[in-house]
Chains A and B, each alone.
Chain A
């Protein structure tokens, strides 16, 4: 079946540290892959996406590469800021029949706290 496993948190870093949040999936097909972010008191926002193998999604200094061979989509940022403190969700969209193209399967979320 289809599933997603996301690195557990919380993750606490100092400003300018390197960030990696791991995400792997199992799928019978080829999902589209997304990272969503939830800042304190706000809703979920799309951070980046990749829809086919070897695609790299990037936004706000964050990157993730669609690795079909390892079924992974790890989120990275070279130098985090205090303003990056949020909850990060890996969320594949597994292909299926019908019209639920926006049906996402969310990982458990990783709380990131960045200290000055």
Chain B
């Protein structure tokens, strides 16, 4: 069964360092998302991406964050200069068609900022 895969599963970094989280969405999907979940809190929408551009972003997704789809298969989330409060589980998701909330999620990448 097709699935969304994310790497790394866990990354530990020092404050101020750049981090790239990688996702391989399901191959025929066209819409891509990043969500995050700070420990003990809600899952929060970060950004959506379609047709090689950002469709929508939340207030959380400030200038320190960026996304790209560099090669038609990977979908990456970059944090330029990590802060302690960026420590969270980051989920990638994708879906095929418009007008659906049926997202397919990856297992998540846990980011720990020290």
Distance between Cα atoms of A26 and B4 in the complex (Å) = 31
**Contact code string A39-81 (vs B, CB < 8 Å = 1, else 0):** 0011111100100000000000000000000000000000000
From A49, which residue of chain B is reached at the shortest CB distance?
B102
For residue B107, CB closer than 8 A to chain A, the reply is yes
For residue B101, CB closer than 8 A to chain A, the reply is yes
Distance between Cα atoms of A84 and B91 in the complex (Å) = 22
Cβ of B33 and Cβ of A103 under 8 Å apart?
yes
Total contacting residues, chain B, CB less than 8 A: 29
For residue B55, CB closer than 8 A to chain A, the reply is yes
Task: Tell me which of B35, B41, B44, B100 contacts A101 (CB under 8 A).
Answer: B100
Contacts A46-B102, A101-B101, A102-B100 given: A89-B91 contact, CB under 8 Å?
Answer: no
Distance between Cα atoms of A45 and B104 in the complex (Å) = 7
A interface bracket (residues with beta carbon within 8 Å of B): 20 to 34
For residue B93, CB closer than 8 A to chain A, the reply is yes
For residue A91, CB closer than 8 A to chain B, the reply is yes
Chain A neighbourhood of B104, CB < 8 A: 46
Chain A neighbourhood of B95, CB < 8 A: 101-102
Task: Tell me which of B44, B56, B99, B100 contacts A106 (CB under 8 A).
Answer: B44
For residue A32, CB closer than 8 A to chain B, the reply is yes
Cβ of A99 and Cβ of B48 under 8 Å apart?
yes
Task: Tell me which of B43, B50, B99, B100 contacts A109 (CB under 8 A).
Answer: B43
Chain A neighbourhood of B44, CB < 8 A: 106
Cβ of A42 and Cβ of B107 under 8 Å apart?
yes
Distance between Cα atoms of A102 and B102 in the complex (Å) = 7
Task: Tell me which of A92, A98, A105 contacts B56 (CB under 8 A).
Answer: A98
Distance between Cα atoms of A91 and B33 in the complex (Å) = 15
Not counting A43-B91, A104-B101, a sample of 4 additional A-B residue pairs whose C-beta atoms are within 8 angstroms of each other reads A99-B50, A101-B99, A106-B43, A109-B43
- Seen from chain B, the residues whose Cβ lies within 8 Å of a Cβ on chain A are 4, 31, 33, 35, 41-45, 48, 50-51, 55-56, 91, 93-95, 98-108
Complex A-B, nearest 7 residue pairs according to Cβ-Cβ distance, in ascending order: A93-B101, A43-B107, A106-B43, A44-B105, A100-B56, A100-B48, A43-B105
